[in-house]
């Protein structure tokens, strides 16, 4: 059975514009057809500079259309628009986004999206500087207000060899977004988990201060050796990037050297003690704290001040617990602050995460099976379960870490909006019920 049953038998117009990510539309087309969709491909002239129309024609349900004038019917855009159950544009260039936002129908694809009443899913892909430009963001915001679903680009290596935000979203996340719009799921909320945004949800953290931690701490054995873990920091960095794009003022406390977008305040640390100091300093004014870092549980009690050598024999390492930063945050946090912890586990995932949820006085714990294929440490993908103090539980299947970040922040945004009780409120409710 296909994991996207809502796509079976549905007509999907697949728009492809002229960006380097156009080659990824081939895989998207194949996956749509495998899911049972009837795919009508529409390519811009510039898209054919990156991928041949014969390729898409061979994989799709019908030949590629490129022009308002190359078919027997006089109004092909109307036929395509009226016959579509959904339209997806992947990749969507800055030029297409601008034309769509301002109603400029000078080719078949823009005419089709203006002529349809079906849901439209737009998947931008461009260089980071273009993605960050106010003109592009304003055009996307205009489309969101009109109900267009935006699947934001991912972070990673770009066509020019540098690293930043602008890569086309993963095919799986685009399929999730399409499936959700066809089933009527809340594509702006955690139900999709795909990082899609529509309506006003794209800036739902505007005016909020979000503190995020990332990476594995390093606890010194001697000046050149340390105890650490396999955390890459990718999930924490994705959370920071997504929070910033959703309007938040972001402070990122990280142990990694991963690139960070302009506008995010970065505090680089190494040890658990350094992280504790930085986090407690910035948490006082934060509306949201997301402890995604993998803080070491133990550290050498008396690290050597000089490099240890084999000739010295095996060192007698005595370990002591590191600071419990999450518990201290729970003890200190001001009223209204949303606190999110992470539980990276290899067994008894649910039970161990729920125990952490209760013990740390947090609103949510993101349970992460780091032993599962493709999930957790050092992967570009993740699969988590978001557990709430209110008893809620939301599973986010395997997808990009950026998409997981959106799912976590969807939950946080709902909490800030009053959609979920805080840990303290839940404790009070439980106490009140016990008295009754």
The catalytic residue positions are: 229
CB atoms within 10 A of CB 230: 11
For residue 196, the SS3 value is coil
Cβ partners under 8 Å of residue 243, min gap 6 = 205, 210, 212, 250, 288, 290, 405, 409
C-alpha angle 5-376-234 in degrees, rounded to nearest 5: 105
What DSSP string describes 250-292?
A: EEEEESS-----TT-EEEE--SHHHHHHHHHHHHTT-SEEEE-
Closest CA to 94 of 134, 128, 50, 124: 124
- Cα–Cα distance, 194 to 183 (Å, whole number): 14
Positive or negative, the CA dihedral 54, 56, 61, 65 is negative
Rg (CA), the chain: 24
């Amino acid at each position: 059975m296909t994991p996207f049953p809502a796509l079976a038998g549905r007509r999907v117009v697949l728009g492809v514009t002229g960006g380097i990510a156009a080659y990824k539309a081939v895989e998207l087309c194949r996956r749509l057809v495998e899911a049972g969709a009837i795919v009508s491909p529409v390519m811009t002239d510039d898209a054919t500079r990156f991928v041949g129309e014969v390729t898409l024609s061979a994989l799709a349900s019908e030949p590629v259309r490129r022009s308002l004038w190359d078919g027997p019917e006089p109004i092909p855009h109307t036929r395509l628009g009226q016959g579509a159950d959904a339209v997806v544009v992947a990749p969507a260039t800055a030029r297409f986004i601008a034309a769509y936002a301002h109603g400029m129908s000078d080719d078949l694809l823009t005419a089709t999206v203006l002529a349809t009443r079906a849901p439209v899913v737009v998947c931008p892909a461009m260089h980071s500087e273009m993605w960050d430009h106010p003109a592009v963001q304003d055009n996307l915001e205009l489309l969101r207000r009109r109900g267009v679903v935006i699947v934001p680009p991912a972070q990673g290596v770009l066509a020019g060899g540098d690293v930043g935000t602008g890569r086309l979203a993963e095919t799986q996340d685009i399929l999730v977004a399409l499936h959700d719009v066809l089933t009527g799921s809340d594509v702006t909320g955690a139900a999709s988990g795909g990082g899609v945004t529509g309506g006003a949800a794209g800036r739902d953290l505007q005016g909020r201060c979000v503190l995020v931690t990332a990476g594995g701490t390093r606890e010194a054995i001697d000046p050149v050796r340390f105890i650490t873990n396999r955390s890459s920091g990718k999930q924490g960095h994705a959370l920071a990037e997504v929070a910033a794009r959703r309007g938040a003022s972001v402070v990122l406390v990280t142990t990694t050297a991963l690139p960070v977008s302009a506008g995010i305040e970065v505090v680089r640390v190494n040890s658990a003690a350094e992280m504790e100091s930085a986090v407690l300093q910035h948490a006082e004014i934060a509306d949201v704290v997301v402890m995604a870092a993998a803080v070491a549980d133990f550290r050498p009690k008396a690290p050597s001040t000089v490099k240890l050598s084999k000739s010295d024999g095996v060192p007698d390492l005595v370990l002591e617990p590191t600071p419990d930063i999450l518990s201290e945050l729970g003890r200190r946090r001001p009223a209204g602050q949303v606190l999110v912890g992470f539980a990276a586990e290899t067994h008894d995932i649910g039970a161990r995460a729920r125990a952490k949820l209760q013990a740390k006085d947090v609103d949510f714990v993101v349970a992460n099976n780091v032993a599962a294929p493709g999930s957790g440490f050092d992967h570009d993908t993740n699969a988590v379960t978001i557990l709430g103090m209110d008893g809620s539980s939301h599973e986010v299947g395997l997808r990009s870490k950026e998409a997981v970040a959106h799912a976590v922040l969807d939950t946080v945004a709902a909490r800030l909006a009053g959609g979920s009780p805080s840990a303290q409120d839940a404790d009070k409710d439980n106490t009140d019920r016990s008295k009754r």
